[in-house]
Amino acid sequence: MIQACIFDMDGVLVSTEKYHFEAWQRLAATLGIHIDEEFNENLKGVSRAVCIDLILAHGGVHKTEEEKRELAAQKNAWFLESISHINPVDVFPGVREFLTQLQMHGYKIALGSASKNAPLLLEKLQIAQFFEAVIDGNSIEKAKPNPEVFLKGAEALGVAPKNCVVFEDAISGVQAARSAGMYCIGVGSPAILTQANFCIQGLHEMTLERLREL
Four-residue CA torsion sign, 29, 173, 150, 3:
positive
8 A C-beta contact, residue 121 and residue 17: no
Mark which of 33, 48, 82 sits at the end of a domain: 82
Mark which of 58, 82, 106 sits at the end of a domain: 82
Is 45 a residue whose pLDDT tops 80? no
Distance separating alpha carbons of residues 122 and 13, to the nearest angstrom: 9
- Most confident of the ranges 45-54, 141-150, 157-166: 157-166
Same structural domain, 76 and 164? no
Same structural domain, 147 and 164? yes
- Annotated active-site residue 10? The verdict is yes
Same structural domain, 10 and 116? yes
169 SS3 class:
coil
Same structural domain, 120 and 179? yes
**Least confident stretch, 22-26, 56-60, 73-77, 78-82:** 78-82
Total tally of structural domains belonging to the chain = 2
If phi > 0 it is left, if psi is from -120 to 50 it is alpha, else beta; for residue 60 that is left
The range of the structural domain enclosing residue 26 comes to: 17-82
8 A C-beta contact, residue 58 and residue 48: no
**Where residue 58 sits, what CATH number does that domain have?**
1.10.150.240
- pLDDT class of 46 with cuts at 50, 70, 90: confident
**Where residue 208 sits, what CATH number does that domain have?**
3.40.50.1000
Q: What percent of the chain has pLDDT over 70?
A: 100
Same structural domain, 95 and 71? no
Same structural domain, 159 and 194? yes
8 A C-beta contact, residue 140 and residue 50: no
Same structural domain, 30 and 50? yes
- Mind giving me the DSSP string for 45-102? TS-HHHHHHHHHHHHT----HHHHHHHHHHHHHHHHHHTTT--GGGBPTTHHHHHHHH
Is 193 a residue whose pLDDT tops 80? yes
Same structural domain, 64 and 75? yes
Same structural domain, 151 and 98? yes
Mark which of 35, 64, 82 sits at the end of a domain: 82
Catalytic residue among 10, 36, 53, 90: 10
Is 14 a residue whose pLDDT tops 90? yes
If phi > 0 it is left, if psi is from -120 to 50 it is alpha, else beta; for residue 94 that is left
8 A C-beta contact, residue 92 and residue 12: yes
130 vs 57, 100, 187, 196, CA distance in Å? 39, 7, 20, 24
Same structural domain, 184 and 100? yes
Same structural domain, 42 and 138? no
- Annotated active-site residue 90? The verdict is no
Instruction: Report the interhelical angle of 171-179 vs 148-157 (nearest 10°).
Output: 60
- pLDDT class of 180 with cuts at 50, 70, 90: very high
Same structural domain, 78 and 166? no
Q: What percent of the chain has pLDDT over 90?
A: 79
Is 114 a residue whose pLDDT tops 90? no
